Structures are given as C-alpha cells and as structure tokens.
C-alpha cells in the first residue's frame, strides 16, 4: 500500500499545480481596446442603477487567483421606447475596493495598482451598442488610473416591467491602464483581469 501511495503522490502534485496555474481569463472574451471615442448623446428614459448592481473582478498569478469588487458604484442607463439601452455611465468609487484577502485589498489602493489617492474614481461610459445573435456588443470609454481607453465586449440585456438588467463578463489587460506591477519573481501576476458587470436599473424617481 505504501508503494502505491508513493507512486500516485507526484501525479497528484502535478494535478494540483495545473489547477492552481489556470488563468481565469482563458474562459472569458478578450475586450478589444482602442483610443477613447466620442460619446454621442442618447435619447430615451433615464434609468438609475439600484443597490443590486455589482462590479466585480478576478485577478490571477502563477499560484492562484483572487476575487474582488467594489462596494460603491453608481450610474444610469438611457433606455429607448423598445426597451433597449442606448447609453449610460457607471461610476466606481475606487476606495470601496474589496477582495478575498485584506492585505491584497490594501495593496490595490497603492501606487502599484489603482493609486486611489490621485484617482479615487473610475468610470465606464457607453459610446456604442450593437445587437448580435447572442445579445449585444457594447463599446465604451473606460477611465481608470487617469488613463481612458475605449473597450468593446459582449453583453446581455433584458427589460422586465420597469427593471432593466445588463450583464457582461470579459477580460482586459491591466497594463493598458498603466498598472504594470509584476508581483514577486516566483509568483508573477498575470496581465489579464476578468471584469464582471451585473447591473440593475429602474426609472429615475
């Protein structure tokens, strides 16, 4: 029995290593990135984000990954007569960042990452929405750490009565926004970060 255990142990260790090294961004769509685009004025009814809305992320390194998000977000959508979102903005309080590790949460606020003392807010502003076979293709300007880029990613949306929902999951390269901290030499941080939008909005009161 002991010889069998010794034989299987290396294989088990290899399996564990492979699992820990998986990149979460391999399972999501890569957002295309280009220079910031003009924001066209959208017409329709203004819907305001509710407390049910969340913006979360997953970052990873060689040895594993961490989940996080932001406790304070605000914003609105413009919705036309057909119930389609035609514009909108999501504003994120970067000081409200949270993660599954307190030490990491504090580190993300420093100059290695978000530099919240100089850039306390991030903002995503829709510049274009197109219908696709599976939902929508959303483009918008993402302003983070003082850098503004236009990104495009797939999303889904729905309208049920007076409630509008928009959901998206995609990944960006953090270095496009000047976040270049590499991490420890034996535990490097990956460039890709998965972003999740789960947004719920209702007509402005």
Q: How confident is the model at residue 205 (pLDDT cuts 50, 70, 90)?
A: confident
Tens digit of each residue's pLDDT (9 = 90 or more) over 71-97: 999 999 999 999 999 999 999 999 999
First-to-final CA distance of the chain: 70
Percent of the residues in the chain that have a pLDDT greater than 90, as a whole number: 84
**pTM score, two decimals?**
0.88
Quote the tokens at residue 70: 């932001």
Tens digit of each residue's pLDDT (9 = 90 or more) over 119-156: 999 999 999 999 999 999 999 999 999 999 999 999 99
- What are the chain's domains? 23-203 (2.40.128.110)
**Which of 88, 65, 62, 64 has its CA nearest to residue 77?**
88
Q: What's the rounded mean pLDDT across residues 193-199?
A: 98
Quote the tokens at residue 101: 């590790």
């Amino acid at each position: 029995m002991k010889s069998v255990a010794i034989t299987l142990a290396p294989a088990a260790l290899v399996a564990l290593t492979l699992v820990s090294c998986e990149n979460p961004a391999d399972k999501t769509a890569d957002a295309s990135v280009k220079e910031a685009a003009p924001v066209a004025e959208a017409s329709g009814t203004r819907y305001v984000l509710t407390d049910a809305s969340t913006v979360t992320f997953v970052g990873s390194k060689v040895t594993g990954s961490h989940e996080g998000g932001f406790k304070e977000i605000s914003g609105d959508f413009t919705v036309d007569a057909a119930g389609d979102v035609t514009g909108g903005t999501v504003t994120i309080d970067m000081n409200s960042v949270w993660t599954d590790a307190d030490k990491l949460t504090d580190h993300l606020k420093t100059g290695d990452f978000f530099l919240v003392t100089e850039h306390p807010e991030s903002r995503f502003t829709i510049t274009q929405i197109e219908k696709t076979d599976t939902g929508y293709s959303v483009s918008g300007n993402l302003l983070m750490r003082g850098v503004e880029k236009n990104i495009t990613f797939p999303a889904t949306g729905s309208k049920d009565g007076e409630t509008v929902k928009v959901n998206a999951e995609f990944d960006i390269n953090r270095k496009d926004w000047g976040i270049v901290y590499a991490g420890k030499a034996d535990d490097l941080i990956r460039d890709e970060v998965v972003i999740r939008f789960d947004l719920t909005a209702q007509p402005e009161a």
